């Protein structure tokens, strides 16, 4: 596995390649969720590139950029063992200058849900993903459905900017008790870890209601909120796959999303039905 730390070197390394490139962008502290993206990329491409970059522009002031978990050595081992060909590990100073051109998230879809409490977060996400795509020039890029709004906005960017990369959504990897894997789970105390299970439980209940033909979104959301109590809920929403609010669930075209705070840790989860 080759480890490269500057955009220039990576561009040069990949530029004459005629092979398909599968790309998995991450912020490190890799877990089984990331590994499932890497494995899918490994199966579907000749070259696999993973980036580990804690992108400062997607963190707002006061968020956990400084204390975001770092596991550089373990991450390198995981990438090596997962068959990654190139690990891109850039420094912020090589990705950004003082006075930057940036991308703006769409005014509606970028500022609801996650974007409502974190305005400018998705500007940072889209800007860094655009930069990374321009450096790697991937054939396929792999993103987790767990970050459903991020996946939706990146797909929108690719379409609206007429980019040629193929975006591949990957199912959410979960712990055996149902908690969605996340680099932030290590912030949870033992008690909080238990409380966090209310999140997958609320989604499971929503799925159960829908299988019983209860399709009214208000009824489902009310029940989910009950299950999530006393967690601090940022949002519980039921949307269609275009990320528009709906009043009735249409099976095959629905995403149910939850964000709740457990202690000081914000956790996201969703199901696609």
Q: Which residues bind ligand AMP (CB under 6 A)?
A: 26-27, 33-34, 36-37, 143-144, 146-147, 170, 172-173, 180-183
Residue among 34, 25, 39, 26 nearest 133 (CA): 25
Q: How far is the CB of 8 from ligand AMP (least distance, A)?
A: 24
Q: How far is the CB of 17 from ligand AMP (least distance, A)?
A: 23
Question: For 8, left (φ over 0), alpha (ψ -120 to 50), or beta?
Answer: alpha
Which CB, 51 or 217, lies closer to ligand AMP?
Answer: 51
Which CB, 112 or 173, lies closer to ligand AMP?
Answer: 173
Which CB, 181 or 221, lies closer to ligand AMP?
Answer: 181
Helices (H) and strands (E) in the chain, counts: 10, 9
Give 170's strand partners. 144
**Residue 34 catalytic?**
yes
Half-sphere exposure of 37 (CA within 13 A, CB side): 27
Residue among 27, 129, 121, 100 nearest 69 (CA): 27
The dihedral built from the CA positions of residue 211, 213, 218 and 222, taken in this order, carries a sign that is: negative
Q: How far apart are CA 10 and CA 51, in angstroms?
A: 11
Q: How far is the CB of 169 from ligand AMP (least distance, A)?
A: 9
Q: How far apart are CA 146 and CA 256, in angstroms?
A: 11
The dihedral built from the CA positions of residue 66, 86, 148 and 229, taken in this order, carries a sign that is: negative
Which CB, 131 or 146, lies closer to ligand AMP?
Answer: 146
Q: How far is the CB of 252 from ligand AMP (least distance, A)?
A: 21
Which CB, 217 or 270, lies closer to ligand AMP?
Answer: 270
Residues marked active site are found at 34
């Amino acid at each position: 596995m080759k480890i490269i730390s500057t955009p220039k070197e990576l561009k040069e390394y990949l530029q004459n390649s005629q092979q398909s490139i599968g790309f998995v962008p991450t912020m490190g502290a890799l877990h089984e969720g990331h590994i499932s993206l890497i494995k899918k990329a490994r199966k579907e491409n000749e070259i696999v590139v993973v980036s580990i970059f804690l992108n400062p522009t997607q963190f707002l002031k006061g968020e956990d950029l400084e204390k975001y978990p770092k596991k550089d050595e373990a991450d390198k081992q995981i990438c090596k063992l997962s068959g990654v060909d190139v690990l891109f590990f850039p420094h912020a100073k090589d990705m950004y200058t003082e006075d930057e051109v940036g991308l703006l998230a769409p005014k509606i879809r970028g500022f609801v849900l996650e974007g409502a409490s974190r305005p400018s977060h998705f500007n940072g996400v889209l800007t860094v993903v655009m930069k990374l795509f321009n450096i790697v020039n991937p054939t396929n890029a792999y993103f987790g459905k767990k970050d459903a709004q991020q996946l939706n906005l990146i797909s929108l960017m690719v379409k609206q900017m007429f980019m040629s990369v193929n975006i591949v959504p990957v199912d959410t990897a979960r712990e055996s008790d149902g908690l969605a894997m996340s680099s932030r789970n290590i912030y949870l105390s033992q008690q909080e870890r238990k409380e966090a299970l209310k999140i997958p439980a609320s989604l499971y209940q929503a799925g159960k209601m829908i299988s019983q033909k209860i399709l009214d979104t208000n009824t489902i959301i009310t029940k989910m909120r009950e299950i999530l109590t006393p967690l601090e809920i940022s949002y519980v929403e039921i949307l269609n796959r275009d990320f528009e609010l709906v009043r009735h669930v249409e099976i095959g075209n629905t995403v149910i999303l939850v964000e709740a705070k457990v202690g000081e840790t914000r956790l996201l989860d969703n199901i696609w039905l």
